[in-house]
Amino acid sequence: ELRWEKLFDQPLQFKLPFKTIHLPHKKVQHVNYYKDRVWDFECKDTFVSEPECLWSPYVNDLDQEFSFKCPQNYVLTGVNSYHSNYYEDRRWKFYCCRVNSYRNQDCQWTPYINYFNEVISWQVPGLNYLVGAGSYHSNYYEYQYCTRKSNC
């Protein structure tokens, strides 16, 4: 069952609960009337120690593309955005966390995973972790993901 994180044209802020550092799946629905999307995220318990986390500044201007990657060895665990009815676009911030005993490796970008106005339903492959996101205003999205390896 979907649980949309916001209403159309409204701000979005989503952070994974404490000790839940994995966004394995997301579903996104676009409605032309609003020229906006609503978001549903799936969370998965992953690490048992307390993470070190930080918010990015806004990574894009309205009506501009962006490509964002969390700092080295961090994973993407939250999003913040607001919608402009004038531009019919969103500005984005991302929340990134790390646990010192893990490092990212084998990172790669997906191709764009949707066409204009399409529903997005994307699963992070295998045992990988989301570490980045990119888009351009016509609402194509791409993601970067990595495997995680223990330093122990």
**The pLDDT value given to residue 2:** 44
Residues of the chain with pLDDT under 50: 1-2, 20, 24-25, 152
| Res 143: pLDDT | 64
Q: Give the pLDDT confidence score for residue 8 in this predicted structure.
A: 72
Q: 109-121, pLDDT tens digit by residue?
A: 988 877 777 777 7
Q: What is the pTM of this model?
A: 0.77
pLDDT at residue 1 in the model? 44
Of residues 13, 28, 27, 21, the one with CA closest to residue 43: 21
The predicted structure's pLDDT at residue 50: 67
Interatomic CA distance for residues 53 and 149, integer angstroms: 19
What is the pLDDT at residue 128?
A: 84
Looking at residue 144, what is its pLDDT? 66
| Residue ranges of domains in the chain | 12-150
Question: What pLDDT sits at residue 122?
Answer: 80
State the burial class of residue 125 (Cβ atoms within 10 Å of its Cβ: 0-12, 13-18, 19+): exposed
